[in-house]
Protein backbone atom coordinates (compact mmCIF):
# COMPACT_ATOMS: atom_id res chain seq x y z
CA UNK A 1 0.00 0.00 0.00
CA UNK A 2 1.18 3.53 -0.73
CA UNK A 3 0.56 5.86 2.23
CA UNK A 4 0.85 9.64 2.48
CA UNK A 5 1.24 10.67 6.14
CA UNK A 6 0.99 14.30 7.27
CA UNK A 7 2.54 15.19 10.64
CA UNK A 8 3.21 18.40 12.58
CA UNK A 9 6.87 17.49 13.11
CA UNK A 10 8.40 15.04 15.56
CA UNK A 11 10.33 13.20 12.83
CA UNK A 12 13.94 14.39 13.17
CA UNK A 13 16.15 12.52 10.72
CA UNK A 14 18.16 10.99 13.59
CA UNK A 15 15.00 9.29 14.85
CA UNK A 16 16.21 10.04 18.40
CA UNK A 17 16.04 13.76 19.19
CA UNK A 18 13.17 16.20 18.62
CA UNK A 19 10.80 13.31 17.93
CA UNK A 20 7.37 12.15 18.98
CA UNK A 21 8.19 8.55 20.04
CA UNK A 22 4.76 7.12 19.20
CA UNK A 23 4.93 8.71 15.75
CA UNK A 24 8.43 7.39 15.03
CA UNK A 25 7.31 3.91 16.16
CA UNK A 26 4.31 4.11 13.82
CA UNK A 27 6.53 5.23 10.92
CA UNK A 28 8.93 2.36 11.63
CA UNK A 29 6.08 -0.18 11.61
CA UNK A 30 4.31 1.19 8.54
CA UNK A 31 7.46 1.60 6.44
CA UNK A 32 8.38 -2.07 6.92
CA UNK A 33 5.39 -3.22 4.87
CA UNK A 34 4.24 -0.17 2.93
CA UNK A 35 5.61 2.61 0.78
CA UNK A 36 5.38 5.56 3.15
CA UNK A 37 5.85 9.26 2.38
CA UNK A 38 5.74 11.58 5.38
CA UNK A 39 5.07 15.31 4.99
CA UNK A 40 6.35 17.16 8.08
CA UNK A 41 5.03 20.67 8.56
CA UNK A 42 7.47 22.02 11.16
CA UNK A 43 10.41 19.68 11.77
CA UNK A 44 13.05 22.00 10.36
CA UNK A 45 12.74 25.69 9.57
CA UNK A 46 14.03 25.20 6.02
CA UNK A 47 12.45 22.77 3.50
CA UNK A 48 14.36 19.52 3.05
CA UNK A 49 13.96 15.83 2.27
CA UNK A 50 15.46 12.81 4.03
CA UNK A 51 14.77 9.16 4.89
CA UNK A 52 13.60 7.95 8.30
CA UNK A 53 13.15 4.18 8.81
CA UNK A 54 12.68 3.57 5.07
CA UNK A 55 10.08 6.34 4.80
CA UNK A 56 10.62 9.36 2.56
CA UNK A 57 10.19 12.54 4.64
CA UNK A 58 9.40 15.88 3.02
CA UNK A 59 9.78 18.73 5.50
CA UNK A 60 7.85 21.78 4.31
CA UNK A 61 9.56 24.19 6.70
CA UNK A 62 8.01 27.14 8.49
CA UNK A 63 8.37 30.88 8.97
CA UNK A 64 7.19 31.10 12.57
CA UNK A 65 4.16 33.20 11.58
CA UNK A 66 1.19 30.83 12.11
CA UNK A 67 -1.25 32.27 9.54
CA UNK A 68 1.45 32.58 6.90
CA UNK A 69 2.61 29.03 7.61
CA UNK A 70 -0.94 27.65 7.33
CA UNK A 71 -1.40 29.43 3.99
CA UNK A 72 1.97 28.25 2.64
CA UNK A 73 1.44 24.68 3.85
CA UNK A 74 -1.90 24.49 2.00
CA UNK A 75 -0.24 25.76 -1.20
CA UNK A 76 2.71 23.37 -0.86
CA UNK A 77 0.42 20.40 -0.14
CA UNK A 78 -1.61 21.14 -3.26
CA UNK A 79 1.59 21.24 -5.30
CA UNK A 80 2.90 18.04 -3.74
CA UNK A 81 -0.35 16.20 -4.35
CA UNK A 82 -0.70 17.49 -7.93
CA UNK A 83 2.90 17.04 -9.10
CA UNK A 84 4.83 14.63 -6.95
CA UNK A 85 2.63 12.28 -5.04
CA UNK A 86 -0.03 10.68 -7.21
CA UNK A 87 -0.90 7.04 -6.74
CA UNK A 88 -1.47 6.99 -2.99
CA UNK A 89 -3.99 4.58 -1.50
CA UNK A 90 -4.66 6.47 1.74
CA UNK A 91 -3.81 9.75 3.52
CA UNK A 92 -3.02 9.50 7.23
CA UNK A 93 -2.80 12.58 9.48
CA UNK A 94 -1.20 12.51 12.88
CA UNK A 95 -3.17 15.03 14.98
CA UNK A 96 -6.36 16.78 14.12
CA UNK A 97 -5.48 20.45 13.61
CA UNK A 98 -3.36 21.46 10.60
CA UNK A 99 -2.26 17.92 9.64
CA UNK A 100 -5.93 16.86 9.70
CA UNK A 101 -7.12 19.73 7.54
CA UNK A 102 -4.34 19.12 5.00
CA UNK A 103 -5.10 15.39 4.96
CA UNK A 104 -8.78 16.02 4.23
CA UNK A 105 -7.77 18.41 1.43
CA UNK A 106 -5.32 15.86 -0.05
CA UNK A 107 -7.84 13.03 0.29
CA UNK A 108 -10.44 15.02 -1.61
CA UNK A 109 -7.97 15.93 -4.35
CA UNK A 110 -6.82 12.31 -4.73
CA UNK A 111 -10.27 10.78 -4.05
CA UNK A 112 -8.84 8.39 -1.45
CA UNK A 113 -9.67 7.55 2.19
CA UNK A 114 -8.43 9.75 5.03
CA UNK A 115 -7.34 8.43 8.43
CA UNK A 116 -6.91 10.88 11.32
CA UNK A 117 -4.97 9.75 14.40
CA UNK A 118 -5.75 11.57 17.60
CA UNK A 119 -3.31 11.77 20.46
CA UNK A 120 -5.93 12.79 23.00
CA UNK A 121 -5.00 16.42 23.53
CA UNK A 122 -7.31 17.44 20.71
CA UNK A 123 -10.30 16.61 22.91
CA UNK A 124 -9.10 18.78 25.82
CA UNK A 125 -9.39 22.55 25.85
CA UNK A 126 -7.14 24.57 28.16
CA UNK A 127 -7.16 27.99 26.46
CA UNK A 128 -5.38 29.69 29.35
CA UNK A 129 -2.22 27.79 28.40
CA UNK A 130 -2.96 27.47 24.66
CA UNK A 131 -3.44 23.69 24.77
CA UNK A 132 -5.94 21.49 22.95
CA UNK A 133 -9.34 22.48 21.67
CA UNK A 134 -8.84 21.30 18.07
CA UNK A 135 -11.73 18.82 18.21
CA UNK A 136 -14.40 21.47 18.60
CA UNK A 137 -15.21 24.35 16.29
CA UNK A 138 -18.07 26.76 17.04
CA UNK A 139 -19.58 24.35 19.55
CA UNK A 140 -19.56 21.34 17.22
CA UNK A 141 -17.17 18.53 16.38
CA UNK A 142 -14.31 19.53 14.08
CA UNK A 143 -15.46 19.25 10.43
CA UNK A 144 -12.15 17.68 9.39
CA UNK A 145 -12.75 14.85 11.82
CA UNK A 146 -16.25 14.37 10.46
CA UNK A 147 -14.94 14.35 6.88
CA UNK A 148 -12.33 11.69 7.62
CA UNK A 149 -12.94 8.06 6.73
CA UNK A 150 -11.56 6.75 10.05
CA UNK A 151 -10.35 8.15 13.36
CA UNK A 152 -7.71 6.26 15.32
CA UNK A 153 -6.52 6.67 18.87
CA UNK A 154 -4.68 4.76 21.54
CA UNK A 155 -7.01 5.13 24.51
CA UNK A 156 -10.50 3.97 25.54
CA UNK A 157 -11.33 7.33 27.21
CA UNK A 158 -10.62 9.04 23.87
CA UNK A 159 -12.98 6.59 22.12
CA UNK A 160 -15.76 7.36 24.57
CA UNK A 161 -15.36 11.12 24.13
CA UNK A 162 -15.25 10.90 20.32
CA UNK A 163 -18.34 8.68 20.20
CA UNK A 164 -20.20 11.07 22.49
CA UNK A 165 -19.39 14.31 20.65
CA UNK A 166 -19.61 12.90 17.11
CA UNK A 167 -22.89 11.01 17.65
CA UNK A 168 -21.11 7.79 16.57
CA UNK A 169 -20.83 8.94 12.93
CA UNK A 170 -17.10 8.26 12.53
CA UNK A 171 -15.60 4.75 12.63
CA UNK A 172 -12.92 4.53 15.35
CA UNK A 173 -10.13 2.02 15.72
CA UNK A 174 -7.11 1.54 17.98
CA UNK A 175 -3.66 1.57 16.38
CA UNK A 176 -1.43 0.99 19.41
Q: Please report, for the domain that includes residue 84, its CATH number.
A: 3.40.50.2000
**DSSP 3-state of 8:** coil
What is the reported pTM? 0.80
Q: Which pLDDT band, with edges at 50, 70 and 90, does 176 fall under?
A: very low
Sequence-ordered strand ranges (E) for 60-171: 90-94, 114-117, 125-126, 131-132, 136-137, 140-141, 150-153
**DSSP 3-state of 148:** coil
Domain count, the chain: 1
For 101, how many CA atoms within 13 A lie in the half-sphere containing its CB?
13
- pLDDT tens digits for 60-119? 989 888 888 888 888 888 887 776 667 889 999 988 778 888 888 888 888 899 888 877
Kindly tell me the sign of the dihedral angle through the C-alpha atoms of 29, 106, 38, 17. negative
Q: Which domain holds residue 78?
A: 2-174
Instruction: Please answer whether residues 73 and 60 qualify as being in contact, where contact means their C-beta atoms are separated by less than 8 angstroms.
Output: yes
The confidence score (pLDDT) of residue 58 equals 94
- For strands 140-141 and 136-137, give the pairing: antiparallel
Amino acid sequence: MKILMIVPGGVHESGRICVIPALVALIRRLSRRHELTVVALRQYREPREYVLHDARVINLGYSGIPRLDAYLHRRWMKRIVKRMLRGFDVVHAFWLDEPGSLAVMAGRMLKIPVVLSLGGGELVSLPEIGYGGQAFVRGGFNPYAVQSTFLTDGHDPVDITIRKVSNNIIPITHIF
